[in-house]
Structure 1
Amino acid sequence: MNNVDLNLLIALDALLAEGSVTGAARRLGLSSSAMSRTLTRLRSATGDPLLVRAGRGLVPTPRAAELRDRVHDLSRDVRAVLRPQTNHVDVASLERTFTVRVSEAFLEFLSARVVAAITLAAPRIRLRFAARPDKDARPLREGLIDLEIGVLGTSAPEIRTRLLFHDRLVGVARAGHPLLAGTGVTPERYAACNHVVASREGNVISPVDDALEKLGLKRTILVVVPGYPDAMRIARQSDLVAAVPRSCLGNSLGSDHGATLGLESFECPVPTPGFMISAMWHPRMDADPAHRWLRDTVMSVCRTAYPR
C-alpha cells in the first residue's frame, strides 16, 4: 500500500470540516503552507478540486460535499483502530462468552465460586467450561479456549502463565477408617490398605508408589478412576484409601471440610513432590481488557480459596 497515506484521510476530514486551509492547519497542528501542500496532494489523489475559492473563502465541490460524512466516519474509525486500547471495561454491561478449560476436580470444587464472582459483577457474561483431557496448547493457540487452569505441561513457549496456588497430595479415607485409628499413619500401615487411584490415562504408577518403592513397600490398587472427585466418592463409601490434591478438600484445606463429605484427610506418610496450579492464556488475549478482568477474577477466587 505504498500509494496509500492515511494522513491524507485525516487532513481531508479537517479541511472539509473547517472549510479553510488555515483552520484545518490549526486543528492538526500544522503550518498553513504544509496544509496547502496536503490539499494539492488530495486533489491529485481524488482527481477533484475538493475546495475552491469563493470570494475570500473556500467552498466544497459536489464531490467534496458527497464525501464529507463518509470521510469523517472513516477518519474516526482509523483513529479508534490506531489508538491504544483503554484498560477500562464496563463489566456490568459486557456481553461475551468465555471458554475456560479446567480439570474435573476444578469444576467440582471451585467452579461454583468462580461463577458466583463473575455473575455478581458481570451478569451478561456466559461461561463455558470445557474438559481438559490433556495439556496440548493447540486449543489456546487456535482461540478455541480463552483461559486454561491446571498444572503446566505445555511445550508452547509463547503461552502466558500466572501461578494461582501451590498444591500437594494428601490421603483421604472414610470417617472411622481403621487406618486413622491408633498412633498414626505409617508407610507400612498405609501400604497395607487397598487403594483407589485417579488417573485419566489409566496409569496406576504415581509419585506415591515411587516413594513407597524406595522403602521396599508396595500398595494394592483395586480401583482406577478418571478423576479425583470419583476417587473421593469411592473412598467415602468403602474401605479404599485415596491420594488427592489438598485443594480437593475445599477452602479449609483441612479435615473439617473432609468430615462434611464423610471423609477424613491425613498427611501422606511418604514424601511426594508438590505441584503448581496455574492460569494459562495465549498472548493474543493479553491486552484485551475483558479477558484481563476474567483472569484477574479467576485468580482472585483461587488465591482466596487457597492462600499461598
Structure 2
Amino acid sequence: MTTPDFNLLITLDAVLAEGSVVKAAQRLGLSPSAMSRALARLRETTGDPLLVRAGRGLVPTPRAIELRERVSLLVQETTSVLRPAETPDLSRLERSFTLRTSEGFVENFGAALLARINTEAPGVRICFLQKPNKESSALRDGSVDLETGVIDETTGPELRTRALFRDRFIGVVTNGHTLCNEKITAENYAAGNHIHVSRRGFAKGQIDDALELLGLKRNVATVVGGFATAIALARASKLIANVPERHTGNLRAGMYTFPLPFATQEFTVSMIWHPRMDADPVHRWLRGLLLDICAAE
C-alpha cells in the first residue's frame, strides 16, 4: 500500500476553505500553476473533482463539503502537535478566548481571572458566554475555547476535563426571614415557599427527591432559569432559594445562608475543552490560571 502524501491535507484544507485555486495559492505561497497541479493530485487521490466550474467561479462538490470540517480539524490538530511547546511572550501576546460558564461562575470567579490576565497578559481578551445547555458542538467547532460545568453522560467522550472544585447545594433567604431565627429542620424548611431553578422549566429536582424520602413535599412558588435570578428573588421576598455554595458566594453577600437539613449529593465543577487545544501553550496557561483561581477562592 502506497503511503499517502500528508502534505496534500494542507493543500486540501486551503482549497476547501478558500473555494478558489488562486486564493488557495496565495494562502500557501504557491503559484497558480503549482496550485492547479496540486488540485489535480487531490482529485486523483480522492477520486472526486472537489471544485467544479459554475459560471465564472467554482463550487464545492458534496464530497468536498463533507470533507471540509474534518480536514480543517486534522490540519489544526497536526499543527498543534508540531508547534513548539514554549509559551510565547505573554506580555506581548494579543489573543481572544471565549469561555462558556454556568450562571454565577463569572460573578464569583471572573474578576479574579481578569485581574490575573491583566497582570500577566494584558493583550488577552476574554468573552464570557452563558451556558444554556450541555451541548458540546461549540467546543468541537471552535466557537467556544473553554467551558465549565458538571461532567455527565451528555459530555462528549472525546473532550478533555479537569476538576476545579467540589460544591454542594445550600439554602438562602433574605435577612429577617423566619428561618433566620429558628433551628432549621426538614419540616420547617419544606413548609416554606420555594424557588426552583431549572434551565428547562422543570418544577421538581433533587431537593424534591430528598424530601420525598422523608415523607415531605415543598411548595414551589416559582421556577426560574438561573441561580442569580433565584437569589435576586429570594433577596426581595420571603421565598427560599437553593443554590450551589461556592458557585454563588459573591451573589449571596448580605443574605442568610444555611446547610440543607437533609442529605444531598455533592458535585464536581470541571473545566472542559476540545483535545485540539490540549497542547496549545496559551490555552494551557489559561487553564492553569482558572485552576489556580478556583482553588484559591
1:89 positional shift: 2.2
- Distance in 2 (CA, whole Å) between partners of 1:81 and 1:97 is 17
Residue of structure 1 equivalent to 2:272: 280
Distance across 2 between alignment mates of 1:213 and 1:135: 28
Partners of 1:131 and 1:104 lie apart in 2 by 6
Question: In the alignment, what sits opposite 2:16?
Answer: none
Secondary structure at the aligned position of 1:189 is classed as helix
Q: Which residue of 2 aligns with 1:200?
A: 199
Aligned mate of 2:255, from 234, 238, 263: 263
Cα 1:249–1:105 shift into 2, 3 Å: closer
Percentage of matched positions with identical amino acids: 43
Q: Structure 2 counterpart of 1:295, which letter? A: R
Matched residue, 2:117: 118
| One-letter amino acid matched to 1:178 | T
Residue 293 (str. 1) matches residue 285 (str. 2): yes
Query: 1:81 & 1:237 partners in 2: Cα distance?
Result: 51
Change (3 A) 1:178 1:92: same
Deviation, structure 1 residue 180: 2.1
Structure 2 CA distance for aligned equivalents of residues 186 and 119 of structure 1: 46
Task: Specify the alignment match of 1:163 in structure 2.
Answer: 163
CA-to-partner distance for each residue in 1:21-41, whole Å, 9 max, x for gaps? xxxxxxxxxxxxxxxxxxxxx
TM-score, scaled relative to structure 2: 0.70
Gaps of at least 5 residues in structure 2 are 8-78
Q: Match of 2:99?
A: 100
1:110 shift after superposition:
1.7
1:158 & 1:217 partners in 2: Cα distance?
A: 41
1:166 is aligned with what amino acid? R
The SS at the match of 2:91 is coil
Contact 1:236 1:262 in 2 (8 A): no
Give the total of aligned pairs. 224
**Cα deviation digits, residues 198-223 of structure 1 (max 9, x gap):** 11111121111001011111101111
Task: State the Cα deviation string for residues 49-83 of structure 1 (Å, max 9, x = none).
Answer: xxxxxxxxxxxxxxxxxxxxxxxxxxxxxxx9996
Question: Where in structure 1 do 4 or more consecutive aligned residues deviate above 6 Å?
Answer: 1-4
Cα RMSD between the aligned structures? 2.4
8 Å Cα contact 1:103/1:131 also seen in 2: yes
Partner of 1:177: 177
2:4 and 2:146 mapped to 1: Cα distance?
Answer: 41
Cα distance, 1:86 vs structure 2: 2.5
3-state secondary structure, aligned to 1:243: strand
- Flag the 1:122–1:188 CA change in 2: closer, same or farther, 3 A: same
> Larger radius of gyration, structure 1 or 2?
1
Q: Tell me by how many angstroms 1:240 deviates.
A: 0.3
Corresponding residue for residue 208 of structure 2: 209
Separation of aligned partners in 1, 2:196 and 2:106: 19
Distance in 2, Cα, partners of 1:83 & 1:196 = 52
CA shift for structure 1 position 176:
2.1
Separation of aligned partners in 2, 1:173 and 1:117: 33
